[in-house]
Amino acid sequence: MNLIVFSGPPSSGKTSIILKTIEALKQRKISVGVVKFDCLYTDDDILYEKAGIPVKKGLSGALCPDHFFASNIEEVVKWGKQMGLDMLITESAGLCNRCSPYIRNIKGVCVIDNLSGINTPKKIGPMLKSADIVVITKGDIVSQAEREVFASKVSSVNPRATTMHINGLTGQGAFELSTLLFDEEQKIDSVQGMELRFPMPSAMCSYCLGETRIGEAYQMGNVRKMELGDDYE
């Protein structure tokens, strides 16, 4: 079974891209299932069900979605194997700019949209920098010049990634992405012992443990302070 990890900021078009790509994969008789990770709420699983795609969803709640992903991905892979899937796609929550759910030797796809801001590629961090494929969406809303500048910014952050434009509404470009995803040689039965490409956000501070009061007297553990200069008293 192939395993593919999709990630990207909120509302970048991940679900639309995955749905269009699965349509192309189905044309090649490749069976695909999806596991949707999110934080508090998602109804994307309904969209997958309507398309006849096997789907499960998991909500991390108060837990960091990256930690939730890593804690559940082995069981997710077992579910995909039990379903007899040729490919299992995991779709992350709309992650913070520090997160990165990719696994070594497992294809990672980052979805980012043209409307997010010209400097967004510099802000996203490992979620973009360590991706194998970067999909840029919503190109139909901006000019050709804006698309080219944005793509250039993406390439400057991650020059080794394959960068491509896909229209989540029409599906233009989805077939090309589908040809990059499926690898007949990849046979994933388990991710036990595999490594994340980048360490997850780490902190064990008083706020992690439920503290709500503000002030140094209540701050313990992994705490980082800003440098405000000599004028600050």
Token pair for residue 128? 């973009």
Q: What is the structure's pLDDT at 222?
A: 78
Is the CB of residue 137 less than 8 Å from the CB of residue 112?
yes
Say if residues 74 and 97 touch (Cβ distance below 8 Å). Answer: no
pLDDT digits (tens, 9 = 90+) for 30-56: 999 999 999 889 999 999 999 999 999
Residue pLDDT tens, the chain, 233 long:
999 999 998 889 999 999 999 999 999 999 999 999 998 899 999 999 999 999 999 998 877 888 889 899 999 999 999 999 999 999 988 777 777 889 999 999 999 999 998 999 998 889 999 999 999 999 999 999 999 999 999 999 999 999 999 999 999 999 999 999 999 888 899 999 999 998 877 667 787 778 889 888 888 887 777 776 766 55
133-137, strands of its sheet edge to edge:
55-59, 32-38, 87-91, 2-7, 107-113, 133-137, 162-165
Q: Which of 160, 227, 5 is nearest to 95 (CA)?
A: 5
Q: How far is CA 26 from the centre of its chain?
A: 22
CA distance 225 to 204: 15
Tokens of 68: 């939730």
Distances (CA, A) of 78 to 1, 72, 83, 88, 222: 10, 10, 9, 10, 35
State how far the Cα of 170 lies from the Cα of 151, in Å rounded to an integer.
20
Cα–Cα separations (whole angstroms), residue 176 to 53, 114, 155: 20, 19, 19
Q: In terms of pTM, does the model score above 0.75?
A: yes
